[in-house]
Structure 1
Amino acid sequence: MTLKERIGVDVGQKLTIEEAVEWAADNDVHYVDVCLDDGPIDPDAYDDAEVESIRDTCEDADISLGLHTLSAVNVAETSAHVDDAVDAYLQAYVDIGDMVHADRIIVHGGYHFTDDYEDRVAASKARLRRIIEYAGDAHPDLLLENHNFEPDASEMKYVPVTLDEVTEYFDELEADTLGWAFNPPHARQFPEDIDGYFETLGPDLCAEVRLNDNHGDVEEHLAPGEGDLDFDATFRLIEESGYDGHYMLAFGTLQDMLDGREYLLEQYSGAPSP
């Protein structure tokens, strides 16, 4: 695939799965991620015709489908009743992903508060172990995203965010069906920066690279060119490592992301001339 064909679009909750793959086919997008949280997260809500349509469109248009869980759902949940609901939420994503033949499900570590870091991280890792085991024979792999830092004044903080935390999660949760959804804009919030995260975890673990712009201090999800992320250096770092997977855009409108794809191709000095 060309680099352009490897740059996908995360439609978030803007479209259903069926709408998303049809939109991708119409716009020469070969990788698309969808968040299901704007509708019922229930395999029984999909009839046979819809499932067949999704599978056929992906096969005919060479589309790789991903499902992206909502980071607001706390994978580090410890409260009675709610913790069971989070397990059910993740299992439903796996079941739907398996049914429609999605290739990946992006998951998160959850979040903790000021005084419960250890308990929340333990719950997060235990829940991720359970969903890794649950998804062992399913069609999609699970991809864990390195999360963004929240300001010091924030009571809520995501995990894993630091390079030490991310490395610890992958070391402890190691599985053939668990990969890394690398988020460079998140990584640049830390001293190790994008280079340090990627060189430590490496291209073999990386299965998706998520792209948007920012200024390196807070989460912004800007279109490329609106911040100061060096996309040429980022592409050179990743491409020269031998990584041949896909990139995933996540900002603005669907048209913003199609325009952003063209902008990124212009920024990468290693891209072949059209």
Structure 2
Amino acid sequence: MVDLAFSTNTYTRFSLPQALERIADAGYDGVEILADDPHAFLPEFDSQQRTALDQALDETGLDVSNVNANTAVGYYDDAPPSAFFEPSLCTATDEDRRWRIEYTKDAIDLAERVDSPAVCVTSGRPLAGNPPERAREYLRDSLHEILDYAEPRGIDVGIEFEPELLVECTAEVLDLIDEMGRDGLGINLDVGHAAVYGEDLAETIAQSQGHITGVHLEDIVGGRRGKHYHRIPGEGDLDFEAVFAALDRIGYDGYATLELYTYPDEPDRAAKEALAYLTDR
């Protein structure tokens, strides 16, 4: 059975060390670290906070499943609506794209420090004035520079696809991996995103064999073509037995991380109920 981890992005009302303590108390073996506010927004994540993270990992015994660098809300003093992924790796503005590249390198440094096997990122959106074909060029150039930094350090970079982003489905992320031809580039596979896009999850996992750097789990109401709202497993329509069976068939031996940021008011309930549901299946 795949080991389970829990993302700190559910515990945004708690400090990072507090989040780790609660995730360990809930019974998880692993943790994903949110590389963003309020936990580890890297330009402001100082040496004292890094030492506190080291101590919390030692005390809890948690493995780090992934460093989640998908978002950069901390970039803004007053974040505009839906700015979660900006600046992105496909942003048209050179200065903003440079910021995101350097931020991702900082996330790789953090991953190396905490023995995380991977960092996840998204492609971002092709916004107004930045057509998809140009945005893809920016994305590929950004990723080559990031991988030049990550690969010598033994850190994989997983693209997390999501509907409405530049890279929004399995076929597109596999095309990108093929185009890039880089050993360190893979997929941070969010099964809910695949379901919302309308994919068959067992088929998605089979197609992704050999490329998965990490897995995100959440339930979705409506399953295929459902609404993109992360729910506790058991509260939606996804077939987790089929998901885990498919992961077993391809020999995936990394962590599957619960990503339930939609429960900031009751993170302990989300963590405990998710673990109970998935271990009782």
* TM-score category, normalised to shorter length: 0.7 to 0.9
Note the C-alpha offset of 1:43. 7.6
The letter of the residue matching 2:141 is: A
Length-normalised TM-score, structure 1: 0.81
Partner of 1:130: 145
Deviation of residue 191 (structure 1)?
4.8
Q: Which has the higher contact order (CA 8 A, sep 6+)?
A: 2
Question: Which aligned pairs between 1:102-181 and structure 2 lie closer than 5 A?
Answer: 102-113=116-127, 116-138=131-153, 140-147=155-162, 149=163, 157-181=164-188
Partner of 2:205: 198
Tell me what 2:74 maps to.
none
1:81-133 Cα deviation digits (max 9, x unpaired): 21221122212212222233333211111111366111111111211111111
Per the alignment, residue 76 of structure 2 pairs with none
Contact 2:65/2:214, CA 8 A, preserved across alignment: no
The 8 Å contact of residues 64 and 102 in structure 1, kept in 2 or not, is answered as yes
Structure 2 match to 1:23 = 22
Contact 2:89 2:142 in 1 (8 A): yes
- CA–CA distance in structure 2, aligned partners of residues 44 and 184 of structure 1: 30
What secondary structure is seen at the aligned counterpart in 2 of 1:158? coil
Which sits farther off after the overlay, 17-26 or 99-108? 17-26
Name the stretch that deviates more: 16-25 or 190-199: 16-25
Moved more, 90-99 or 19-28: 19-28
Structure 1 counterpart SS, 2:151: coil
Per-residue CA distance 1:224-257 (angstroms, 9 max, x = gap): 2222112222222222332222211111224312
Distance in 1 (alpha carbons) for counterparts of 2:114 and 2:154? 9
Match of residue 77, structure 1, among 84, 88, 91: 91
**Ranges in structure 2 where 5+ consecutive residues have no aligned partner:** 72-83
Q: Which amino acid aligns with 2:102?
A: A
The number of aligned residues is 253
Percent identity reads 21
Task: Calculate the aligned-residue CA RMSD, in Å.
Answer: 2.5
Q: Secondary structure at the match of 1:136?
A: helix
Can you give the 5+ residue segments of structure 1 that lack an aligned partner in the other structure? 150-156, 268-274
Letter in 2 for 1:255: R
Looking at structure 2, the residues matched to 22 and 190 of structure 1 have their Cα atoms a distance apart, in angstroms, of: 35
**Alpha-carbon deviations, 1:207-238, whole Å to 9, x = none?**
32211111232311112222211222222222
Could you say what secondary structure the match of 2:177 adopts?
helix
- What corresponds to 2:32 in structure 1? 33
CA distance in structure 2 between the partners assigned to 1:226 and 1:146 by the alignment: 23
**Whole-angstrom distance in 2 between the partners of 1:241 and 1:96:** 29
Kindly tell me: are residues 140 and 18 of structure 1, through their superposed partners in 2, closer, same or farther at Cα, counting changes over 3 Å?
farther
Q: Does 1:244 align with 2:253?
A: yes
Aligned to 1:271: none
User: Residue 16 of structure 1: CA displacement?
Assistant: 4.7
Q: Distance in 2 between matches of 1:19 and 1:219?
A: 28
Runs of 4+ in 1 over 4 A off after TM superposition: none
For residue 53 of structure 1, what is the aligned residue in structure 2?
A: 55
1:90 paired residue number: 104
Q: 1:55–1:101: 8 Å Cα contact kept in structure 2? A: no
TM-score by length of structure 2 reads 0.79
Are residues 231 and 52 of structure 1, via their aligned partners in 2, closer, same or farther at CA, if it must alter by over 3 Å? Answer: closer
SS of equivalent to 2:85: coil
Residue 254 to residue 11, structure 1, CA distance change in 2 (3 Å) = farther
Distance 1:42 1:96 in 2: 12
User: Contact 1:76–1:110 (CA<8 Å) still a contact in 2?
Assistant: yes
